[in-house]
């Protein structure tokens, strides 16, 4: 893919859409070249980019890869993060640390098309421990993945508006929210929509749109919200929806949902629709060792085989995910699947999401944090937390072993996942201190 493919679109093509003021290719071209000149004059070789402003993100990212500058995309802008980053400059929401960038246009700037970039992009994954782990991938790899996404999902698609609930500081958001629409002639909504009510802003535009979502967002939206104008397609990644959750969300949105399975380390691995087994993306090679899935593809951050630590079952139509191998624990000599506890819990009307943990106070036992639904909140108002805990444990006892029932339970109405769609064990454990 030509890294400047977006510049071949007509000047009037809308790249960033908003109710008040659309931003066109011509405007972004001038902004990007202006920023590129500023960075080259400052002899910047690497930068940490963190901004909620999608226009600023697109412009600076484009300027960096055009100038062969390496881009670091941290998950947050906390002081501890700043101290850990080894870059020439900070751009975006960094306070006094930020490099001053003049986001003004200069129509006299020439446009030089390039066919490649040597830039590397570093992202961070928190996994389950909360300790950031850096993953570096080349821009060429990211573009390759965009090509596969486009070939897999864009059959017959005209120009679409991509609307996202997930951060572009994460690989899923970067690929689906920014790079795919940017380089394939679509448009990007000007801001994230973290709350389901904000979909109304999109519906009123009467545009053909795509929703890039987290599973947590989809679990919330089907409970109490009506979508006036449905998206033509919905993507979900960062966790797995059960068939029941998948179906309910599709019914509420009146749109097909495609779940995407992958990670920052591996890139995209597979995808599935409702009641379908997982299908590998093209160019993804796979093997199974001791039940665990190993993958190798042009999207991986390393050339060798990479273990996903996910257990799978191969079927005639693809494969099924059985959970992570590191989420099988032994309590009093019995093997317990933390995934199974969570899967059974989210089937209950009172639970939107669940996180099962192992605590140790004298001996090991299971604890759980439940993100409760509107019906769960109403149950507590009428009967109290203690009664809801008893009711949930009684319901779980019908499908899981007594030793696996959570001894300690915490309730929350806030999502259990962070901005990257991950359940961070260190943060969940704080609820039991």
Distance, CA of 302 to CA of 304 (rounded, Å): 6
DSSP structural state of residue 45: -
Average pLDDT score over residue span 116-143: 82
Better-predicted residue by pLDDT, 364 or 201 = 364
Q: What is the pLDDT of residues 112-121, one digit of tens each?
A: 556 678 999 9
- Band of residue 133 on the pLDDT scale cut at 50, 70, 90: confident
Which architecture, in CATH terms, is 1-136? 3-Layer(aba) Sandwich (3.40)
Average pLDDT score over residue span 323-333: 76
Q: What is the pLDDT of residue 297?
A: 94
Of the candidate ranges 3-12, 193-202, 394-403, the one whose mean pLDDT is the lowest: 193-202
Q: What is the pLDDT of residue 157?
A: 65
Q: What is the pLDDT of residue 363?
A: 80
- Band of residue 129 on the pLDDT scale cut at 50, 70, 90: very low
Residue 220 has pLDDT above 80, yes or no: no
Residue pair 123/73 in contact (Cβ under 8 Å)? The answer is yes
Give the angle subtended at the CA of 67 by the CAs of 66 and 73, to the nearest 5°. Answer: 80
Average pLDDT score over residue span 158-187: 94
Distance, CA of 399 to CA of 347 (rounded, Å): 11
Distance, CA of 92 to CA of 88 (rounded, Å): 14
Average pLDDT score over residue span 147-176: 90
Average pLDDT score over residue span 380-400: 95
Residue 379 has pLDDT above 90, yes or no: yes
Please state the length of the chain.
433
Q: What is the pLDDT of residue 40?
A: 95
Q: What is the pLDDT of residue 106?
A: 60
Residue 170 has pLDDT above 60, yes or no: yes
What are the two backbone dihedrals, phi and then psi, of residue 135, each rounded to the nearest 5 degrees?
-130, 120
Distance, CA of 198 to CA of 24 (rounded, Å): 23
Residue 63 has pLDDT above 50, yes or no: yes
Question: Among the ranges 94-108, 222-236, 310-324, which has the highest mean pLDDT value?
Answer: 310-324
State how beta strands 292-296 and 161-164 pair.
unpaired
Domain boundaries 332-432, CATH class: alpha beta
Give the pTM.
0.82
From the list 265, 9, 272, 299, the residue with the least C-alpha distance to 148 is: 299
Q: What is the pLDDT of residue 226?
A: 65
From the list 62, 26, 67, 25, the residue with the least C-alpha distance to 46 is: 67
- Band of residue 126 on the pLDDT scale cut at 50, 70, 90: low
Q: What is the pLDDT of residue 60?
A: 97
- Band of residue 339 on the pLDDT scale cut at 50, 70, 90: confident
Helix, strand, or coil here: 385? helix
Q: What is the pLDDT of residue 309?
A: 87
Distance, CA of 300 to CA of 134 (rounded, Å): 13
Residue 48 token pair = 């940490």
Q: What is the pLDDT of residue 270?
A: 98
Average pLDDT score over residue span 323-334: 76
Question: Torsion angle, CA of 6/10/11/17, rounded to 10 degrees?
Answer: -70
DSSP structural state of residue 195: S
Of the candidate ranges 281-290, 320-329, 349-358, the one whose mean pLDDT is the lowest: 320-329
Distance, CA of 354 to CA of 417 (rounded, Å): 10
Residue 325 has pLDDT above 90, yes or no: no
In the chain, where are the structural domains located? 1-136, 332-432
């Amino acid at each position: 893919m030509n890294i400047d493919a977006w510049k071949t679109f007509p000047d009037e093509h809308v790249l960033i859409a908003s109710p008040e003021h659309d931003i066109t290719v011509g405007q972004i071209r001038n902004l990007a070249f202006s920023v590129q000149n500023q960075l080259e004059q400052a002899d910047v070789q690497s930068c940490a980019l963190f901004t909620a402003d999608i226009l600023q993100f697109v412009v600076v990212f484009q300027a960096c890869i055009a100038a062969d500058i390496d881009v670091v995309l941290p998950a947050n802008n906390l002081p501890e993060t700043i101290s850990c980053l080894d870059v020439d400059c900070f751009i975006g929401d960094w306070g006094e640390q930020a490099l001053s960038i003049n986001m003004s246009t200069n129509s006299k700037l020439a446009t030089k098309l390039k066919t490649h970039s040597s830039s590397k992009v570093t992202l961070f994954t928190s996994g389950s421990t909360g300790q950031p782990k850096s993953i570096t991938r080349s821009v060429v790899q990211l573009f390759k993945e965009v090509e596969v996404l486009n070939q897999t999902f864009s059959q017959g698609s005209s120009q679409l508006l991509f609307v996202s609930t997930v951060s572009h500081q994460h690989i899923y958001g970067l690929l689906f929210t920014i790079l795919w629409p940017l380089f394939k002639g679509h448009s990007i909504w000007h801001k994230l929509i973290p709350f389901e009510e904000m979909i109304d802003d999109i519906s009123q535009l009467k545009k053909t749109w795509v929703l890039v979502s987290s599973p947590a967002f989809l679990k919330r939206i089907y409970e109490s919200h009506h979508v006036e104008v449905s998206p033509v397609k919905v993507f979900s990644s960062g966790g797995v929806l059960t068939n029941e959750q998948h179906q309910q969300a599709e019914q509420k949105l009146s749109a097909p949902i495609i779940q995407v399975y992958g990670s920052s380390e591996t890139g995209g691995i597979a995808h599935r629709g409702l009641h379908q087994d997982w299908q590998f993306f093209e160019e993804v090679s796979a093997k199974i060792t001791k039940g665990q899935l190993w993958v190798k593809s042009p999207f991986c951050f390393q050339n060798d085989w990479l273990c996903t630590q996910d257990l799978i079952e191969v079927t005639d139509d693809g494969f099924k995910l059985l959970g992570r191998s590191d989420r099988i624990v032994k309590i009093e000599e019995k093997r317990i699947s933390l995934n199974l506890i969570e899967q059974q819990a989210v089937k209950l009307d009172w639970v939107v999401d669940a996180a099962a943990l192992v605590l140790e106070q004298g001996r090991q036992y299971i604890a759980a944090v439940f993100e409760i639904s509107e019906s769960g909140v109403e149950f507590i108002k009428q009967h109290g937390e203690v009664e809801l805990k008893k009711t949930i444990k009684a319901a779980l006892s019908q499908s899981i072993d007594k030793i696996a029932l959570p001894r300690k339970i915490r309730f929350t109405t806030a999502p259990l996942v962070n901005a990257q769609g991950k359940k961070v064990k260190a943060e969940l454990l704080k609820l039991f201190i």
